Structures are given as structure tokens and as C-alpha cells.
Amino acid sequence: MRVLVTGAAGFVGGHLIRELESAGHSPVLMDLRPPAEGSPHLFIAADITDPSSVESAFIHAKPDACVHLAGIAYVPTGWREPTQTLGVNLLGTLTVLEAVRQVAPHCRTLVVTSAEIYGRDDPGQPLTEDAPLHPQNPYAVSKAGADICTLLFARHHQIPCLTARPANHCGPGQSASFVVPSFARQLALVKLGLQPPEMKVGNLDSVRTFIDVRDVVRAYRLLLEKASPGKAYNVAGRERVRIGDILEILCDVAGVRPRLVRDPDRYRPTDSVPLLDTRRLCEETGWEPRLSLRQSLQDVFQHELQRLHA
């Protein structure tokens, strides 16, 4: 398939391009600017908030399928800039869906939203895709709206679109704005003697589920190939883990144990997230996560070491 990837220059986009290549698909890259590392594939500059540029991108790309990744991905940005977050994540998704409807109605389109749309309340059992949405921050509201609109377009306009609702994911190349690469980068600096043996941390008692980005993009590829349009699919790991336990594994991988300094700017109240039921994804596509949390964290740490050596 010829697959248009919006947000192709981002963290997940880069991993998805490699996954699509490995499966024999032909990626077409769309973003505001090309990937920093370059790419042999067709690149189209387009802004998802600009309908004419998005429509032109679809006309130019002539895709069989599309994965819509572009958007604001950081929860705190939603609180700082709620109008922009809603504009990019919700209205930008509508712009993509309208372009599909108008000029590429047979394009199989996967819109990536977020498990944040379920909220943070834990019902005591894994949530299926039929669970009520309870977004609790502007980012989650923007993603809930995008998810609802995608499934609405599938029903009302009969276009082959579906949504993925991923939980927290990590892996090599993620921005240090996120907790796992932030820890890994600080530990790499300590390991190389570029930082005193101490590191800044926030609340280590919060609980999350993490899954490797390479397992996530494999799920996206399988959803494009095998899943049913008009449905939502959870993409998540199977276990919850304390942020403090993440740090413990990374310290073990790095072979250093710096003094921990609580940083008020990084501190958030203790909270947890519900587990997600991924049976729909597994049964329809055969997907199973392959990479352990320890392997993922080890790869993130090695990536940060290599970046500092470069």
C-alpha cells in the first residue's frame, strides 16, 4: 500500500515509517518540515490546520491508506495553550477527514487518538473500547473529539476510517519532555561525567502503563492491513508500573545511582491510569506486544548515550 503518514517527522512517525518499509509498504511523508535525519521517500509539506494544503497533499500523494499522527502530543501543552491544542488536534483531524471524504474516499484512514480520553478513574478492570469517555484535561478533550468525529465520519459518510487509542509509549528518539527519556538522558549525563551524580525527579509514586513505540507502530500497521473500519482499538501494555520502578530499572541498566532531587516543576499529584483491554486488537489482527519494558528502557538509555557521544 501507498501510505500517507501525517506527522511523519515526529517520534512515532519515524518509527512508523521504518515499520511500513519493513512490511513492504510505500510511505509518503507529510509534516510541516522534513525529518531531521532525511528520508528517501516522497515528502509533502502541509499544515493540518490548512484545508487547502491538506487536500493538495492527498491529491499529490494518491494514498491507498493514511495514518494521522500529526498533532500536539504533550498533555501539559493542553493546559498552557488549550485553544491551540483543540485547534490542532480536533480541527486538524477534521481537516484530514474532510480531505479524505472530498478527494480520497477509498483511502483507509487510521486516526491516532489517546487512552487519555478514558480519564484517570480506575474501575478495577481493564477498559474496553465501549467504556465511556471521561477526558480530564484539554489534551484529552481534543483527542476525544477527534476520536468521536472519526467514527462519525465512518458511519455517516461511509469512508473507511478507524481510530487507535494508545496508552503511554516510550522508545528511542522520544523527546526528553517525557519522563522515560528525561530519566535516561540525565543518567547518561551522569554516566559520562557530564553532570554531577544527582538528577531531578517529580512524583515517583504515580502509576502508568508503558509500551514500546515499536510495538505500537506494528499495531498501527496491522490495523491498516486487517482491522474493521468504523471501530476504535486500544493499544496498550498489560501491566501498570510505578514511575519510581521505571527509574530503578534505568539506574540498573545505566550502572549509576545518582542522588535524587525533587523538582517542584516536575511534580504532579500521585495518580494512576486504568488498564486497557486490547482483545479487539489482538483478535482481529494477531498483534501481541513483543518487547519487554526492560528492553525498551535499555534501548532508550543506549540511544541517549549515543546522542551525547555524537
Which residue has better confidence, 263 or 211? 211
Report whether pLDDT(188) > 70: yes
Which of 233, 226, 91 is closest to 162 using CA atoms? Answer: 233
pTM of the model: 0.95
Looking at residue 81, what is its pLDDT? 96
CB atoms within 10 A of CB 94: 17
Looking at the chain, the whole-number percentage of residues with pLDDT higher than 90 is 84
Is pLDDT above 70 for 267? Answer: no
131 has a pLDDT exceeding 70: yes
Evaluate if residue 141 carries a pLDDT over 80.
Answer: yes
| pLDDT per residue as tens digits for the range 71-82 | 999 888 999 999
Q: What is the pLDDT of residues 106-121, one digit of tens each?
A: 999 999 999 999 998 7
With 0-12 CB in 10 A as exposed, 13-18 as middle and 19+ as buried, what is 161?
Answer: buried
Let me know if the fold of 2-170+210-239+276-290 is the same as that of 179-206+240-274+296-309.
no
Which range (42-46, 115-119, 271-275) has the least confidence?
A: 271-275
How far apart, in whole angstroms, are the C-alpha atoms of residue 259 and residue 268?
Answer: 20
Paired strand residues for 212 = 170
Please report, for the chain, the start and end positions of each structural domain, with discontinuous segments joined by +: 2-170+210-239+276-290, 179-206+240-274+296-309
Q: What is the spatial distance between Cα 228 and Cα 31, in angstroms, rounded to a whole number?
A: 27
State the CATH class of domain 179-206+240-274+296-309. Answer: alpha beta
In this structure, CATH architecture of domain 2-170+210-239+276-290: 3-Layer(aba) Sandwich (3.40)
CA quadruple 84, 88, 90, 96: dihedral, nearest 10: 160
